[in-house]
Amino acid sequence: MSASKYDLHAIAERLNNAARRDFLKTTAAGAGVMAAGGLIDLAAPREAKAFAYEPYPTDDQLTTVVTSCAHNCGSRHVLVAHKKGDVIVRLSTDDGRYQKDGHFGKDTFEEPQLRACLRGRSYRQRLYSAERLLYPMGRVGKRGEGKFKRISWDEALGYVSKKMIEIKDKYGPTALLDQSYAGASYGVLHKSDQIEGLLGRFMGMFGCRTNSWSVPSYQGTTTSSRWTFGTIEDGNEDDAFAHSKLIIMWGWNPAYTFHGGNTFYYMRLAKQNGCKFVLVDPQYTDSGAAYDTWWIPIKPNTDAAMMAGMAHYIFTNNLHDQQFIDKFCMGMDAGTMPEWAGSTPNGKENFKDYILGKYDGVAKTPEWASEICGVPAADIKKLAHMYATTKPAALKASWAPGRNAYGEQYNRMAAALQAMTGNIGILGGCAEGVGKAWHAEAVAYPYDQYANTWFASIKSDRWAHCVLNYPNVKREEIGLWPRQDATDGQIPNIKGIFWQGSDWFNQLTNINKEIEAIKKLELVVCMDSTITPSGLWADVLLPVSTHFERHDVALPWYKGHYYIHRPKVIEPLGESKTDFQIFTELAWRIGGPTFGRAYNPKASREYFHYNDAVDEAYLREWWEHKVMAHQGVTMPWEEFKRLGVYKFKLDKPHVAFREQIENGKRFDTPSGKIEILSTELAYIGDWTKTKYGSHIPSIPKWIEPWESLNHPKTKEYPFHLITPHPRHRTHSIFANCSWLQETFEQECTINASDAKKLGVATGDTVEVWNERGKVVVPVYVTERVMPGVVVIHEGAWMQLDENGVDRGGNPDFLTLDEPSPAGSFAYNTVLVNIRKTELEHNPGWDKTSISRSQVFRRDN
């Protein structure tokens, strides 16, 4: 309807440029045949009319609808859609008007505006992009060749349901791999999620599901926080940062990645209050610059060693808070060891004696640490002194340094420092970690015993290994989660993959290995609103409506105390359906009314065509029975819908573990204490029977990673590659938006001294390779990164040339699919070599649409 009433081509043309026009026409006509490289067969061109922008339409000519952004990001901000008819002509953001007692310009400390970032502001380009998936498509070429034809919903779902039944019958209940992720569908109702989303429940009910348990972004810190604190709720709400006197940003770049609505802004207020900032990072990031930090460059993957050196300084100078340790910690020193520890297979050591070198004869002095991490011992001591003597001080141990070989040890070591200085449970301190803080009511979709039913569960980055080596796979190689029944230890025979809100094929490690593995599968289904790099490897593409085209409520993941209403802003584009509609219809097709009604109890089969009333019923029920019943909210659902945003006012800043420290409540660990010595790990004897697969010390320890700048392999591959999150994409989302491509470039950041040796300058193109793959990217030469370290942001859309070289510059062709015992992905444990190249870098599929970024960098 939208396409006929308002000219979608015109909008898209206006937002992109004229050169893409023909491509749009073909996809919109449904006759598009797209090759992996983005080459298009052109259909007959059709004239498109430009949309008038001048004079600007005034408020009374436009309809204003409050909604939010929605992509795989920890934050959520307000987007206000201004539409003409059924077309969004521009977006604005929170200006203080859309809340209770709001008015234009209202922006207080307690209820700050929720202003969208550059990614959120570019949503129209994503919504109306050339890569928007509008119709169900079926593969016609070889898998991965990228050739599809338009098919009907009936054909698409008929095929998928038939294949599902066939595969389950033939290969059993572990044959379908759930690779859902938080990609495009994060809301209380339409939720894509690795563990408990709509897909997981659907496959669980169907009775065929292998789950992927390790979370790519932060499994190191999740496991660490569960061991140490018994929970992942170790976070403060972001306004608490404004009370800190010292903030140590360990691998943390809040200028790029967000949690909560205003973390970066509250930190600015902390700075105005006199807070000092330190950045421990191989890069001098924009956060480093904006918060005027003391930058301590550190070799990647050596963070736990530096922290051990700090702990040594603090212990030996008696700067630790012994009273706090005695009262709240277990295993920090000999005095806090439990009696049972001596008789366990793995729990005999305490942390302080490890640091002092009692067990291995190596004292973990700042000088010892300096040899490993490259930070001068004097700086390690200075930072340790600052942290131990400034109260309150926040050591924010970010996720990135945990995406390493043995990344969990870094997070546990950080928790030990936070505990020994008594900075846990106090305002201005910090126990993060994961950073989950205020508890939101996050579930409006049906939730029952099937929410996370699985028949096998593996480490997420081991699926390719499992597929390629089946059945000669040991359970510890794939991190098989134990089961309490006879199927314990059975290796899943994976024959199909579902992607819902997930571009994992582009985003997991060692893509070349994935490419080998996917060829062995019998069914690959991709559900997305965009044709993604993963989608090109699918058999069936199912078009999913974006959050502008369905009803939902938005919330941030882990912190930020607010809800944003997400009405259906426009009608679904093309033939797109919500993922909830698709699963409901599949359930009806596979199991008739029994499965259909069980999966979606409020709906009949008509839901596939008419979903508004049912969605409204789920959301209203969630608001009235959860939000109003549990969270002290008195605002009626109708008023929330009218306003758009609900911002909670907390009577005091939310600080993790305040209750434990102030009122003596038990921690959720087996001992009720902060477990520097983990009870769970202490008792483990046979590691192969655990999901970890191999030995983990029961206290935080420095463990040499399998690749680093201290490794002999540097003779062949002298550079350590890190792959942080970019600012102009959310992982791979938005990679096709030319506005964002214009602001930042996919590039390889390298120190000026290294560049000199290699004979490259900014503007040159380099190839970066190791034994796993090769990518081609432009180079950015700077003093802001440590020598020996190179940076390529993750999430670029892969574009393989005929020799298997990725011209798009996706660093996951170089990463290793070898997770840490605790499940941390090794995204930042990569050695590479670099040379100048004549090969061309392709910044996007559609080369004509790219204006190469003008980054406007200047060196003084």
Partner 1 sequence: MAEEKDLAKIKEAVKRHKKEVYVPVVPEMQLGFIHNNVDCIGCRACEIACKDKNGLAPGPRFRNVMYVEGGAFPDVYAYKVNMSCNHCAEPACLPTCPTGAIFKRKKDGIVDIDSTLCIGCRRCEAACPYGAPQFIPERNIVSKCNMCVDEIDAGRKPYCVQACMMRVLDIGDIDKLRAGTWVTKAMASHEKPVGAVKNMANPELTKPSIVFVAHSKAVVK
- Would you say 197 or 374 has its CB closer to partner 1? 374
- Would you say 117 or 796 has its CB closer to partner 1? 117
381 burial level (CB within 10 Å; 0-12, 13-18, 19+): buried
- Binding partner 1 by CB under 8 A: which of 787, 833, 836, 839? 787
244 binds partner 1 (CB under 8 A): no
62 binds partner 1 (CB under 8 A): no
Site string for partner 1, 564-583 (x = CB under 8 A): --------------------
Rounded Cα distance between 694 and 630, Å, is 42
Provide, rounded to whole angstroms, the least separation between the CB of residue 651 and partner 1.
25
Q: Which segment (263-271, 304-312, 549-557, 624-632) binds partner 1 by CB under 8 A?
A: 263-271
Site string for partner 1, 203-242 (x = CB under 8 A): ----------------------------------------
Tokens of 803: 């020799």
Site string for partner 1, 6-25 (x = CB under 8 A): --------xxxxx-------
| Most distant CA pair in the chain, distance | 81
279 binds partner 1 (CB under 8 A): no
Among 762, 697, 656, smallest CA distance to 331 is for 697
- Would you say 193 or 747 has its CB closer to partner 1? 747
- Binding partner 1 by CB under 8 A: which of 691, 701, 727, 793? 727
Q: According to CB under 8 A, which residues from 284 to 303 bind partner 1?
A: 284, 286-290, 292, 295, 297
63 binds partner 1 (CB under 8 A): no
Q: Which segment (141-149, 186-194, 590-598, 734-742) binds partner 1 by CB under 8 A?
A: 734-742
**What residues contact 60, with CB distance under 8 A and at least 6 apart?**
none
Contact 651, 237 (CB under 8 A): no
Rounded Cα distance between 562 and 440, Å, is 8
Q: According to CB under 8 A, which residues from 90 to 109 bind partner 1?
A: 90-93, 95, 104, 107
Provide, rounded to whole angstroms, the least separation between the CB of residue 107 and partner 1.
7
545 binds partner 1 (CB under 8 A): no
Q: How many residues bind partner 1 (CB under 8 A)?
A: 72
- Would you say 128 or 438 has its CB closer to partner 1? 128
**What residues contact 429, with CB distance under 8 A and at least 6 apart?**
244, 392, 393, 394, 418, 422, 423, 655
- Would you say 609 or 858 has its CB closer to partner 1? 858
Among 365, 228, 231, smallest CA distance to 310 is for 365
**What residues contact 647, with CB distance under 8 A and at least 6 apart?**
99, 100, 111, 561, 562
Rounded Cα distance between 432 and 442, Å, is 21
Provide, rounded to whole angstroms, the least separation between the CB of residue 469 and partner 1.
44
Contact 817, 465 (CB under 8 A): yes
Provide, rounded to whole angstroms, the least separation between the CB of residue 272 and partner 1.
5
Angle CA 215–258–789, to nearest 5: 70
51 binds partner 1 (CB under 8 A): yes
Q: Which segment (226-234, 707-715, 717-725, 778-786) binds partner 1 by CB under 8 A?
A: 778-786
Provide, rounded to whole angstroms, the least separation between the CB of residue 97 and partner 1.
10
- Binding partner 1 by CB under 8 A: which of 405, 420, 541, 740? 740
Tokens of 84: 């003409």
Rounded Cα distance between 270 and 280, Å, is 19
The residues facing 329 across adjacent strands are: 674
Classify residue 693 by its DSSP letter: -
Q: According to CB under 8 A, which residues from 461 to 490 bind partner 1?
A: none
- Binding partner 1 by CB under 8 A: which of 59, 110, 651, 802? 59
- Binding partner 1 by CB under 8 A: which of 58, 318, 484, 803? 58
- Would you say 135 or 291 has its CB closer to partner 1? 291
- Binding partner 1 by CB under 8 A: which of 126, 150, 568, 784? 784
What beta strand segments (E) does 629-669 contain? Answer: 645-647
Rounded Cα distance between 825 and 690, Å, is 18
The residues facing 530 across adjacent strands are: 132
Contact 518, 143 (CB under 8 A): yes
Handedness of CA 91, 94, 99, 105 (dihedral sign): negative
Tokens of 436: 């989950």
Among 371, 352, 345, 276, smallest CA distance to 314 is for 352
**What residues contact 594, with CB distance under 8 A and at least 6 apart?**
none
Tokens of 815: 């990463």
Provide, rounded to whole angstroms, the least separation between the CB of residue 84 and partner 1.
12
- Would you say 284 or 470 has its CB closer to partner 1? 284
Tokens of 471: 């059945």
Q: Which segment (29-37, 282-290, 544-552, 712-720) binds partner 1 by CB under 8 A?
A: 282-290
Provide, rounded to whole angstroms, the least separation between the CB of residue 807 and partner 1.
20
**In the chain, what is the straight-line distance between the N-terminal and C-terminal CA atoms, in Å?**
54
**What residues contact 252, with CB distance under 8 A and at least 6 apart?**
281, 287, 396, 397, 398, 400
Q: According to CB under 8 A, which residues from 838 to 857 bind partner 1?
A: 849-851, 854-857
- Would you say 160 or 796 has its CB closer to partner 1? 796
Provide, rounded to whole angstroms, the least separation between the CB of residue 851 and partner 1.
4
Strands of 645-647's sheet in order across? 552-554, 562-566, 645-647
What beta strand segments (E) does 264-370 contain? Answer: 276-280, 294-296, 329-330
Strands of 87-93's sheet in order across? 63-68, 78-84, 87-93
Provide, rounded to whole angstroms, the least separation between the CB of residue 785 and partner 1.
8
Q: What single string gives the DSSP state of each residue in 806-827? A: BTT--GGGTS-----TT----T
- Binding partner 1 by CB under 8 A: which of 39, 42, 50, 362? 50
Phi, psi values for residue 755, rounded to 5°: -60, -40
- Would you say 84 or 689 has its CB closer to partner 1? 84
**562-566 and 552-554 strand pairing:** antiparallel
- Binding partner 1 by CB under 8 A: which of 71, 83, 124, 658? 124
Provide, rounded to whole angstroms, the least separation between the CB of residue 850 and partner 1.
7
**What residues contact 239, with CB distance under 8 A and at least 6 apart?**
109, 110, 262, 266, 653
Q: Which segment (207-215, 266-274, 359-367, 438-446) binds partner 1 by CB under 8 A?
A: 266-274
860 binds partner 1 (CB under 8 A): yes
Among 306, 296, 313, smallest CA distance to 372 is for 306
Q: According to CB under 8 A, which residues from 146 to 165 bind partner 1?
A: none
Q: Which segment (172-180, 261-269, 410-418, 652-660) binds partner 1 by CB under 8 A?
A: 261-269
- Binding partner 1 by CB under 8 A: which of 782, 801, 805, 833? 782
Q: What single string gives the DSSP state of each residue in 446-474? A: --STTTT--SEEE-GGGHHHHHHHTTS--
83 binds partner 1 (CB under 8 A): no
- Would you say 140 or 855 has its CB closer to partner 1? 855
Q: Which segment (135-143, 279-287, 382-390, 806-814) binds partner 1 by CB under 8 A?
A: 279-287
- Binding partner 1 by CB under 8 A: which of 1, 42, 45, 56? 56
Count of all residues that appear for the chain in the document? 860
- Would you say 288 or 697 has its CB closer to partner 1? 288
Provide, rounded to whole angstroms, the least separation between the CB of residue 124 and partner 1.
6
Provide, rounded to whole angstroms, the least separation between the CB of residue 349 and partner 1.
36
Q: Which segment (35-43, 224-232, 614-622, 776-784) binds partner 1 by CB under 8 A?
A: 776-784
Rounded Cα distance between 750 and 638, Å, is 54
Provide, rounded to whole angstroms, the least separation between the CB of residue 59 and partner 1.
6
